[in-house]
Structure 1
Amino acid sequence: MATAIGPLVLGPFQFWTWLRVQHPLVHRTLGKIYMIGSFFGGLTALYLGLSIDLEGSKVPLFLLSCTWLFMTIAAWITIRNKNIAGHRLFAIRSYALAMVFVFLRLIGDIPQDKLFFFIKSPEIRDTTLEWLSWIIPLLTIELIYSWIPLLSNKKRQTRRA
């Protein structure tokens, strides 16, 4: 959690249009700090995924860390290639994965026997919570930024003869 504090705090400022437009140097500096925090947060999650004693948490934590690291690195690569639209989308995904710690805390406070009343095994409930803690935020971002725009896109595709 400590390694993710930087990205959690800096993320909202990075998405603030006024800051990006009026103070691009501040945006870049905060972005570098965000990337370093996300890198350490992702590596910490990777370490936890490899070493945690809870069997049901190993795979979800490992995949969360790999996905978070990928999204952060992809955001950096796309901005280096001057692909601002791609950078924005990868940065949003990276931030959603950083927010997993907050999301897990929020849904973790709900008694699991109430949340997952249909699952009898406490171990399976824990594993389900681990998976949902990062799958739901990521799928929500995909729904908002990828799937819904594709469904509402009214451009017609032209076929080449």
Structure 2
Amino acid sequence: MIQITSKYTSLEKDVAFLQIKQTEVSQIPHYLTFFYIHVSCAIFALLAGFTQFNHYILTKQTIIHRNIGKMYVLIILFLAAPSGFVIGLYANGGFYSKIAFVLLSVLWFYFTLKGFIKIKNRNITAHKAFMIRSFALTFSAITLRMWKVILVYLFQPSPMDLYQIIAWLGWIPNLLIVEFYIIKKFQK
């Protein structure tokens, strides 16, 4: 993800994925701004999220957990999810892809906000469950790309068909897996 994200450090209008988004770049005011906000923030959300499940940090470095958690929440609620919503409105693959990415950003925002509210109310179990859901959606940045490689290798679908499929596969399996985990772990 760092390698993919680093391609955008030039802030060019036609680098990597943006090469196929030139209509949006040239015709949608602020599309490029929302795109760059999303790309630059999502990598920090991924890195922050990975630290939050470290047993040592959770039990011995609670101040670090709290501060990184606040950063994670702020990034998602104010930058990554809202910008993801906007660029989701212009997703490749048509109507079904747009629904997938918009729904992903709404759920990402919702789970993150609920996790934050739960910890403010000192409901640690609910906080953990919502933040696990939130990170499952954050992790979709990785699983989407993984599914893309697998599907292209196995089936060579057309680019727009592929995009419609990975728009959903990038996050639905993640959410199903963590829901199963949450049920097993927290609702004994």
TM-score bracket, shorter-length normalisation:
0.7 to 0.9
Deviation at 1:64, TM superposition (A): 0.1
Give the equivalent residue in structure 1 for 2:137.
97
Give the equivalent residue in structure 1 for 2:49.
11
Q: Retained in 1: the 8 A contact 2:92–2:163?
A: no
Q: Retained in 2: the 8 A contact 1:75–1:90?
A: yes
Cα displacement string for residues 33-82 of structure 1 (whole angstroms, at most 9, x for unaligned residues): 11122222111210111233531421000000000000100000000000
Q: Decide which of 145, 155, 172 is 1:135's aligned counterpart.
A: 172
Deviation at 1:113, TM superposition (A): 7.2
Separation of aligned partners in 1, 2:46 and 2:107: 17
Q: Retained in 1: the 8 A contact 2:88–2:102?
A: yes
Cα displacement string for residues 76-124 of structure 1 (whole angstroms, at most 9, x for unaligned residues): 0000000000001111110110000111111112243725x8xx77644
Q: What is the percentage of aligned positions where both structures have the same residue?
A: 30
Which TM-score applies when normalising by structure 1? 0.81
Q: Note the residue ranges of structure 1 that are not aligned, 5 or more in a row.
A: 154-161
Aligned residues: 148
Separation of aligned partners in 1, 2:114 and 2:126: 9
**Compared CA separation, residues 101 and 63, structure 1 to 2 (3 A):** same
Give the equivalent residue in structure 2 for 1:51.
90
**Compared CA separation, residues 18 and 111, structure 1 to 2 (3 A):** closer
Q: Map of 1:46-85 to 2, 5 A cutoff? A: 46-55=85-94, 56-85=96-125
Q: Retained in 2: the 8 A contact 1:93–1:141?
A: yes
Separation of aligned partners in 2, 1:145 and 1:131: 21
Q: Decide which of 5, 28, 35 is 2:66's aligned counterpart.
A: 28
Cα displacement string for residues 130-155 of structure 1 (whole angstroms, at most 9, x for unaligned residues): 11111010111111221x4599x5xx
2:126 maps to 1:126 = no
Larger mean Cα displacement after TM superposition, 106-115 or 17-26 = 106-115
Q: Retained in 2: the 8 A contact 1:46–1:65?
A: yes
3-state SS of 1:51 partner: coil
Q: Retained in 2: the 8 A contact 1:3–1:44?
A: no
Report the RMSD for the aligned CA atoms in angstroms.
2.3
Question: Larger C-alpha radius of gyration, 1 or 2?
Answer: 1
Q: Decide which of 137, 154, 158 is 1:114's aligned counterpart.
A: 154
Separation of aligned partners in 1, 2:91 and 2:138: 19
**Compared CA separation, residues 107 and 79, structure 1 to 2 (3 A):** same
